[in-house]
Amino acid sequence: MHMTAPFDLRPAGNEYAPYYGRYIDLVPPGDVLVTLEQQMHESQGFLAEIGEAESGYRYARGKWSIKQVVGHVVDVERVFAYRALRFARGDGTPLPGIEQDELVEGANFDSRPLASLLLEWEHLRRANLALFASFDAATLLCRGVASECEFTVRATIFIIAGHELHHQNTLHTLYMRR
């Protein structure tokens, strides 16, 4: 897939804020780009089986629907990929944080077909895989600031993978128990 950087080296603790360790720890050993590619197929297949009729389901009052979870994962991937791009290109401008609930509220994901969310996610993931594969070893160690925390490019990629795994686990354990 790529030959430019060691994508199997996990970020060190000083490459991200401690909060994000919960996501990075979920990423299995091995090449994170392979993990991202596999996730795309696994998540797409699993969610396509849920189907449109079930995609508005919420496991509890006030919790996000399945569509909102999918949209949230897409939005967070987009934000972290943008951070990776800015850090990789040497842009030292500190980036603001995001408020996930405001993003979900403003997106109106429940009005969209699940299939359209899945297609958007697939296109985004493929574009991000191409971007990340272009990074060399030195680029993975470039740093930047977002949400008042310092990250490396490598950490942002692992966070994307771990964040998706976190939400896959949530979907399987809380949404599919019924």
pLDDT digit of tens for each residue in the chain (178 aa)? 445 578 999 999 999 999 999 999 999 999 999 999 999 999 999 998 998 999 999 999 999 999 999 999 999 999 999 999 999 999 999 999 999 999 999 999 999 999 999 999 999 999 999 999 999 999 999 999 999 999 999 999 999 999 999 999 999 999 986 5
Residue 94 lies in a domain: yes
- 128/125 Cα distance (integer angstroms): 5
Query: What is the model's pTM?
Result: 0.94
Contact 158, 11 (CB under 8 A): yes
Provide the domain count of the chain.
1
What's the pLDDT score for residue 176? Answer: 83
57 lies in some domain: yes
Residue 8 lies in a domain: no
Residue 36 amino acid letter: L
Q: State how far the Cα of 4 lies from the Cα of 137, in Å rounded to an integer.
A: 7
Residue 1 located in a structural domain: no
What pLDDT shows up at residue 5? 72
User: What integer pLDDT is reported at residue 150 of this predicted model?
Assistant: 98
Q: Looking at residue 124, which CATH number applies to its domain?
A: 1.20.120.450
Question: Considering the domain boundaries, does residue 4 fall inside one?
Answer: no
User: Which amino acid belongs to residue 49?
Assistant: E
| Domain annotation covers residue 30 | no
Q: Is residue 78 included in any domain, yes or no? A: yes
Q: Is residue 62 domain-resident?
A: yes
Cα 102 to Cα 13, 98, 128, 163: the distances in Å are 29, 8, 24, 18
Owning domain of residue 101: 36-175
Instruction: Judge whether 126 and 78 are in contact, CB under 8 Å.
Output: no
